[in-house]
Structure 1
Amino acid sequence: MNETTRRPPAPLPAERARTIAARGGRAALLPSDGTENRVTPVLHHVHPSGEATIVLPDEHPLVEAARRAELTAMLELADQAPVQLREPVRGLLWITGWLRALTAEQAREAALLVAEARPDPRLLDVGHGASALRLSPASLVVADAEGTTSLRPELFAQAEPDPFAAHEDHWLRHLELSHRDVVGLLAQHLPADLRGGHVRPLGLDRLGLRLRVEMSDSDHDVRIAFSRPVGTAQELAGELRRLMGCPFLAQRR
């Protein structure tokens, strides 16, 4: 494979999965009871181990079922793009495992643990109209423009989220709303057949920038690689300046 066809480097699947989990995203719980019902949690949080704490109203039928016996279930997390797109979901994470209801003491401990990582007033409802459940992972699958990969829980636990995960949404919205000139400079280096499309900032990580090109009849995601991994805002700014002023190779997804 030569330089013109080699795919740009991207974060490993476990890192991409950890990043989707860290962002939170829209969640749906799918019990394996044959009903295909999608349950929207009051609150959810995926811990670094891959375990998930899920909060549901006390009266939800799934709470009672999980109190009677351990269930199998899948938690689906959708990674939404921070700008308005025709197809807003840019990645999915599925965690499949065993779901059980926590005791009152376990639920209080779980709420405190989640609050340390992600304070949320809805956690105050645990034990007061809401119940906490725990999903213990057996397997995970991450799917995005880089591909679809199955992960063991230990690989997920060993990875770290992208260093820009907490700031990416704000930066991309700012790029979309206030710096269309920058997006235009980046678009000059897209494959020739995509340059007539509507170019939108899609994603940002330590290895590169992703653009979504919306054509009249299809969408295309393009990754633009940095010259080296970055870990700080200053390094990121330097790479963006380089990309705006220098030719670079972009591989279409």
Structure 2
Amino acid sequence: MTENRRPPAPHPAERARTIAARGGRAALLPSDGTEHRVVPVLHHVHARGDATIVLPDEHPLTGAARGTEITAMLEIADHAAVQLREPVRGLLWITGWLRTLDPREARTACLDVADERPDPRLLDVGHGASVLRLSPASLVVADAEGTTSLRPELFAQADPDPFHRQEDHWLRHLELSHRDVVGLLAGHLPEQLRGGHVRPLGLDRFGLRLRVETTEEDHDVRIAFSRPVSTAGELAVELRRLMGCPFLAQRG
């Protein structure tokens, strides 16, 4: 009997770091039982798993976390680069302790964020906006590969996918300008999925992911590279290989 092996995929900690590095849409959920979702002015997850969050001075959470720590969860949604009927392709939840920083700490935090991700909204800090710090106790990543709980130290040891900054641009270009390539890749799908609408969903160092939208449901399919890649040149070689010699595994 043939063994049904899963295709190679990034480690859960790497997938979590990638979602964090992309900086997708975020919501802060305080653990006060209200289930009230707070959309930050700005959020940034650092390599060690703690998050810098900017909220208006007058927001209730800013006052509640001043001089003390409260428990909260930051949810970050990883949205697909192309328009899909189910656009969220992954979620990262960081649960921990939230504290409002004093002015000196806030200035240091803003400089740390600006070093990695310059953003004009940081200029509002001290002028109607405050900085809060979420210190992680645990993290959970959920996507088509599965749902995994992570310790902060495991998250800190991982690196984001090497293509996380270029991925969205490449996938949109594939969708808009190279439907012929998508069509060739679709020829490697299982027979029962070939009548669906095939869309480029993801790209990482281990392979490509396609979303197949059928009338009944959506299916995510991973097409694995022959080996992990780390440069644009290696990626181009693997893409050419996939268009002629597919190595495919389906995730339902």
Settle same-fold status: TM greater than 0.5: yes
Secondary structure, counterpart of 1:239 in structure 2: helix
In structure 2, C-alpha distance between the alignment counterparts of 1:167 and 1:73, rounded to whole Å: 31
> Which residue in 1 is equivalent to 2:203?
204
> Which residue in 1 is equivalent to 2:106?
107
Tell me by how many angstroms 1:249 deviates: 2.6
> Which residue in 2 is equivalent to 1:127?
126
Contact 1:189–1:250 (8 Å) recurs in 2: no
Secondary structure, counterpart of 1:184 in structure 2: helix
Contact 2:223–2:246 (8 Å) recurs in 1: no
Secondary structure, counterpart of 2:127 in structure 1: coil
Contact 1:29–1:40 (8 Å) recurs in 2: yes
Contact 2:220–2:250 (8 Å) recurs in 1: no
In structure 1, C-alpha distance between the alignment counterparts of 2:141 and 2:227, rounded to whole Å: 24
- Describe how 1:62-211 pairs up with structure 2 within 5 A: 62-211=61-210
What is the one-letter code of the residue matched to 1:235? E
Contact 2:144–2:251 (8 Å) recurs in 1: no
Q: Deviations over 1:37-66 (max 9, x none)?
A: 000000000000000000000010110000
In structure 2, C-alpha distance between the alignment counterparts of 1:16 and 1:210, rounded to whole Å: 14
Q: Deviations over 1:188-243 (max 9, x none)?
A: 00011000000000000000000000001100000000000000001001000000
Secondary structure, counterpart of 1:78 in structure 2: strand
Contact 1:102–1:133 (8 Å) recurs in 2: yes
> Which residue in 2 is equivalent to 1:6?
5
Contact 1:56–1:130 (8 Å) recurs in 2: yes
Q: Deviations over 1:100-151 (max 9, x none)?
A: 0000000000001000100000000111110000000000000000000000
Q: Deviations over 1:145-196 (max 9, x none)?
A: 0000000000000000000000000000000000000000000000110000
**TM-score for both structures, normalised by structure 2:** 0.98
In structure 1, C-alpha distance between the alignment counterparts of 2:124 and 2:111, rounded to whole Å: 12
Secondary structure, counterpart of 2:198 in structure 1: strand
Give the aligned CA root-mean-square deviation in angstroms: 0.9
Contact 2:49–2:156 (8 Å) recurs in 1: yes
Tell me by how many angstroms 1:245 deviates: 1.1
Contact 1:54–1:134 (8 Å) recurs in 2: yes
Pair 1:57 & 2:56 matched: yes
Contact 1:15–1:159 (8 Å) recurs in 2: yes
What is the one-letter code of the residue matched to 2:2? N
In structure 2, C-alpha distance between the alignment counterparts of 1:247 and 1:75, rounded to whole Å: 38
Tell me by how many angstroms 1:68 deviates: 4.3
Contact 1:6–1:251 (8 Å) recurs in 2: no
**TM-score for both structures, normalised by structure 1:** 0.98
In structure 1, C-alpha distance between the alignment counterparts of 2:60 and 2:220, rounded to whole Å: 40
- Describe how 1:28-43 pairs up with structure 2 within 5 A: 28-43=27-42
Secondary structure, counterpart of 2:54 in structure 1: strand
Contact 2:71–2:96 (8 Å) recurs in 1: yes
Runs of 5+ consecutive residues of structure 2 not aligned to the other structure: none
In structure 2, C-alpha distance between the alignment counterparts of 1:196 and 1:248, rounded to whole Å: 20
Structure 1 segments (4+ residues) deviating >3 Å:
none
Secondary structure, counterpart of 1:35 in structure 2: coil
What is the one-letter code of the residue matched to 1:2? T
In structure 2, C-alpha distance between the alignment counterparts of 1:84 and 1:247, rounded to whole Å: 26
